[in-house]
Amino acid sequence: MIKKQRTSKTSAAKISIDAERVDGSKTKAAFYTVLLVVIILTGLALMISQKFKTKSPPVANNAQNAQVQNQDQQAKPADTTDVASLIARVSSLIVTKDGEEPTVATVQNADMLRQGKQEISEFYKDVQNGDRLLVWSDKAILYSTKLDKLLAVLPSPSLLLSGNSTSTPSVVEPASATSTPSTPAVSTADVKTENAAVEVRNGTNVAGLARTMSNLLKTKDIRVTLVGDAKNRNYATTVIYKLSDKDLPATLAALSAATKTEVKQPAAGEISGFNGDFVVIVGQDFAAQ
């Protein structure tokens, strides 16, 4: 009986120890499970926080960016692609004649202009293709749209109209809806005094255009010495070519005002056979008027 009691007590002790071990294992498993859940939740919280930081920059940075954008907009020059904006921009850089619209041209052959007469070569020294020439009655101005600055100012614009026709850029800015380039006003007495000889040629297949142009020029007291046809009859626009080296600014201004064009550089052989001081070749644009 004594032996049986000891065996029972030993068995009970073993069962108690085993129960404690099981309980301890369960406690540790629960602890590690809770720890794992905490780590996962912390990681998710950090990821969400970082995502919101990326999408929402600090207010101070937004303010700085807005300030930089405003500065960039203020630094950009005004749009000078149309005639009205160009004239306004140049007039803001230098005093121009009130109430007078300048003649506006775009430089296409800068090298040719720099090879002109000595008295104006300095004026065209820094000119580049695409620069703009604005001519008022009291000054001529070269303006760079790329640099947004005045390149040169010539107080005697009549120098540009004297000598060969390479003194004037070959492409004239077309009239816009808001502003029409015009030539400086000249008096009839000036035109009569110069007494320039002007030929008028029809550069189209529309009969009678040269005669109509001739009659128009005569109303401006321009002396027309010959009316006929041009060698080529495919002129889309009216052109003026200067044939002599005489200084005839009043006549040239009157011709430009009447025909709404300027002196242009002729192609090789294009003006052979013409006489006088100027020749006006009438184009299809005159027929449409």
What single string gives the DSSP state of each residue in 136-179?
-SS-EEEEETTTTEEEEEES-GGGGGSSSGGGS-SEEPPP-SS-
What CA–CA distance (Å, rounded) separates 214 from 282?
10
238 vs 139 pLDDT, higher one: 238
H or E, element range at 112: helix 110-114
What CA–CA distance (Å, rounded) separates 135 from 252?
13
Distances (CA, A) of 123 to 160, 168, 175: 10, 12, 25
> pLDDT at position 225, please?
94
Number of residues written out for the chain: 289
Q: Is 90 exceeded by the pLDDT of residue 282?
A: yes
Among 163, 166, 181, 171, CA closest to 245: 163
Rg (CA), the chain: 43
Token pair belonging to 154: 């010539």
Among 211, 181, 197, CA closest to 287: 211
167 vs 47 pLDDT, higher one: 47
What CA–CA distance (Å, rounded) separates 149 from 155?
18
> pTM (2 decimals)?
0.40
Q: What is the CATH number of domain 188-287?
A: 3.30.70
- Stretch among 58-62, 102-106, 202-206 having the lowest mean pLDDT: 58-62
Which one-letter amino acid corresponds to residue 55?
K
Which one-letter amino acid corresponds to residue 266?
P
The mean pLDDT value for 114-141 works out to 80
The mean pLDDT value for 255-279 works out to 83
The mean pLDDT value for 38-56 works out to 70
What residues have CB less than 8 Å from 72, skipping those under 6 apart?
Answer: none
DSSP string, 46-111: HHHHHHHHHHS--HHHHHHHHHHHHHHHHHSPPP-SSHHHHHHHHHHHS---TT-PPEEEE-S-HH
Number of Cβ within 10 Å of residue 240's Cβ equals 20
Q: Is 80 exceeded by the pLDDT of residue 183?
A: no
Average pLDDT, the chain: 74
Query: Do residues 274 and 199 lie in contact, with contact meaning Cβ atoms separated by under 8 Å?
Result: yes
Which residue blocks in 167-265 are alpha helix, DSSP H?
188-194, 209-218, 249-259
Among 181, 167, 170, CA closest to 248: 167
Structural domain spans, the chain: 1-76, 83-172, 188-287
Long-range contacts of 38-46 (CB under 8 A, 24+ apart): none
pLDDT band at 60 (very low <50, low <70, confident <90, very high): very low
Residues linked to residue 142 through DSSP beta bridges, in sequence order: 133, 152
7 vs 149 pLDDT, higher one: 149
